[in-house]
Amino acid sequence: MITLEKNPNAEALDAVVIRFVGDSGDGMQLTGTQFSDTSAMFGNDVATFPNYPSEIRAPQGSLYGVSGFQVHIGSVEVSTPGDNLDLLVAMNPAGLKTNLYAVKPGNTIIIDSDSFTKKNLEKAQYETNPLEDGSLENYRVVQVPMTSLTKEALKDVEGMDNKSITRSKNMFALGMVYWLYDRNPEHTIEFFEKKFKNKPHLIKANTKVLNAGFFYAETIELIPNSYSISPAKMKEGTYRIIMGNTATAWGFLAAAEKSGRELFLGSYPITPATDILHELVKHKHFGVKAFQAEDEIAGISSAIGASFAGDLAITTTSGPGLALKGEALGLAVMIELPLVVVNVQRGGPSTGLPTKTEQSDLMQAMYGRNGESPVIVIAASTPANCFNYAYQASKLALEHMTPVVLLTDGYIANGSAPWKIKSLEEMPEIKNNLVNEVKENWHPYDRDEDTLARNWAIPGTPGLEHRVGGLEKDRITGDVSHVPENHEIMTHTRAEKVKRVENYIPEIQPEFAQEGELLVIGWGGTYGSLHSAVKQIVEEEGYNNIGFAHFNYINPLPKNTGEVLSRYKKILVCELNNGQFVNVLRMNFEEQKFHQFNKIQGLPFANSELIEKFKQIAK
């Protein structure tokens, strides 16, 4: 057991960005998660992002088989997983080769030198060994024979074969990084005790390797000093680290409990949305009905059936799946039932870049159906607020009797961050449009005067038997109608119902300059990158005439959007697509001129490229 004394010489830092990289079987995701959890418990703000290949087990040592996990920890607010690495931990040559670009000269690289064999160098397409050819001389390279040190540490532990020994070398690296950043390994040791409850030899082995790494870092002179990142100033409360997809799933659990409706999920596995299904199937104790259907269409169709029967019904997918769900989503528009469709966006078109992030499904969410088919479109913007927007999507669907598309993306869905836990008592009420008794002259399409939501009579209710369907309905009786004027009125009514949601959502509130030279606009998962770049240019570079407006509500837009736009001379819309939200704004605010900044590389915005663009526009 380690008795940890605070290193008096530790250098205080505001924030550091660390990336662990190795083969997809090297346990990098676990290593990164342990480091970020420990840091969060210590009180740091954290943001993480996993980066893994779309192949489950790509050939060992290959460039495309590299798996990485990035952690950004800070004593200050941290809103992205970070751009430039302060530390790269590379478990093999392929990891070094594919990640070196992100390390600023002068920063540290810890390398498992045992892995730099001739064979691995060849697999990584190195002609010469970078540890010997001088190509790394601008970096602080710490070569550690981790494989052999791990073997040495475990030579007396029984029950460990060669393969298990090699597989635990990631804990040696973690131990070193714990020492380097003044972290207590205790949390990880507790994790071993839980995970390997019935395998005491694995608890012993992993603990031993973790400690060996920790002490090794302390002992060797290669690392002359360590750093400390003090706790961040965060709002008082109880926190946990949460992944975006988990937060989305929990938002639905909360909405179901608050609304008193049972939760039904109809879904088909698709990257990067499947973790929502994985999470919800665990919660049968809350009465969650999670149905893995035979395809995307059955996923949404079963949800529509469940909604007809009175459940809070959702379906989860990613871009290609939303395309398949289009026709059924139109049915839900026509029969005016509550339904939430989550689209965790990824790079497209077609199969595209399944494990990379993009914001290119906005137009599909808005318009990807036949006919005049309006739906509410909202977007979460951080891993933690996926909870709020899943909750809000459910609330809007139930209160306005319409499908809602909730957009998240691979970046925030797989990223994690501290979440100040919301207890159910803090969440807003959720009303519904259920009718329970027979009223004179009742019709299934009777509407609420304010929201235009139709009433919701569910099977099992005597006297309210009625039929719905994809054919156009008479606006009064709800019977099938092909009357021309009626179709026009119903089309306008469905559009107006969605439009009126603007009366129930918050106004847009810009951050930083409230008027002036430039308004930076973003939506969805880019909040972290945009916020920190605007913050930097305003607070550190003196551009105090730049404002920042980030949209979570896309359709309808917040009511004051036009007024906010008019306060700035220039408007710059930044998106990870070829320009989609900018065109929604152009369509709605013809009088404005919009600049745009687009990136379509499957990657988030980098701080430096944003700042450069802001300067170019703001002059």
Partner 1 sequence: METTVEKYTYKDFANDQEVRWCPGCDDYVILRSVQKALPETGVKKEDVVFISGIGCSSRFPYYMGTYGMHGIHGRAPAIASGVKLANPDLSVWVITGDGDSMAIGGNHFIHVLRRNIDLNIILFNNEIYGLTKGQFSPTSLVGQKTKSSPYGNTQPPFQPGELAIGAKARFFARIGGNAPKEMTDIFIEAQKFKGTSLVEVLQNCVIFNDGCYVKYTDKKVREDKQLFVEHGKPMIFGKNKDQGLVLNGLKLETVTIGENGITEEDILIHDAKTEDPTMHQMLVRLEDPLVTGIIRSFQDVTLEEREDALTAQIKAKSEFRKTNDLFFSGETYQVN
Q: Give 422-447 as a DSSP string.
A: PPGGGSPP----B--S--TT--TT-B
195 part of the interface to partner 1, by CB under 8 A: no
3-state SS, residue 465: coil
Residue 429 to residue 320: CA distance in whole angstroms = 34
Number of shown-chain residues binding partner 1 (CB under 8 A): 69
Instruction: Candidates 142-150, 398-406, 456-464, 595-603: pick the segment binding partner 1 (CB under 8 A).
Output: 456-464
Q: Which is nearer to partner 1, 269 or 602 (by Cβ)? A: 269
Residue 295 to residue 275: CA distance in whole angstroms = 17
Q: Which is nearer to partner 1, 440 or 540 (by Cβ)? A: 440
Of positions 3, 162, 198, 238, contacts partner 1 by CB under 8 A:
238
278 part of the interface to partner 1, by CB under 8 A: no
Task: Show contacts with partner 1 in window 116-135 (CB under 8 A).
Answer: none
Phi, psi (rounded to 5 degrees) for 298? -70, -30
32 part of the interface to partner 1, by CB under 8 A: no
Give the residue from 525, 529, 528, 578 showing the smallest Cα distance to 554.
525
490 part of the interface to partner 1, by CB under 8 A: no
3-state SS, residue 275: helix
159 part of the interface to partner 1, by CB under 8 A: no
284 part of the interface to partner 1, by CB under 8 A: yes
Residue 420 to residue 408: CA distance in whole angstroms = 20
- CB 495 to partner 1: min, Å: 21
291 part of the interface to partner 1, by CB under 8 A: yes
260 part of the interface to partner 1, by CB under 8 A: no
Of positions 153, 205, 254, 333, contacts partner 1 by CB under 8 A:
254
Before 130, cis peptide (omega within 30)? Answer: no
In order of 161, 263, 396, 428, 462, the CA distances from 423 in angstroms are 46, 18, 20, 11, 36
Of positions 105, 224, 462, 484, contacts partner 1 by CB under 8 A:
462
Residue 545 to residue 475: CA distance in whole angstroms = 51
Phi, psi (rounded to 5 degrees) for 124? -85, 5
437 part of the interface to partner 1, by CB under 8 A: no
Q: Which is nearer to partner 1, 53 or 269 (by Cβ)? A: 269
Q: Which is nearer to partner 1, 467 or 492 (by Cβ)? A: 467
Q: Which is nearer to partner 1, 36 or 552 (by Cβ)? A: 36
Q: Which is nearer to partner 1, 297 or 406 (by Cβ)? A: 297
90 part of the interface to partner 1, by CB under 8 A: no
Provide the mask over 40-69, with x wherever binding to partner 1 is found by CB under 8 A and - wherever it is not: xx-x--------------------------
CB distance 247 to 38 below 8 Å: no
- CB 228 to partner 1: min, Å: 18
3-state SS, residue 276: helix
CA atoms within 13 A on the CB side of 105: 4
H or E element that contains 190: helix 186-195
Q: Which residues bind partner 1 (CB under 8 A)?
A: 37, 40-41, 43, 231, 234-241, 250, 253-254, 257, 262, 264, 266, 283-287, 289, 291, 293-295, 297-298, 301-311, 313, 327-328, 331, 335, 420-424, 458-471, 479-480
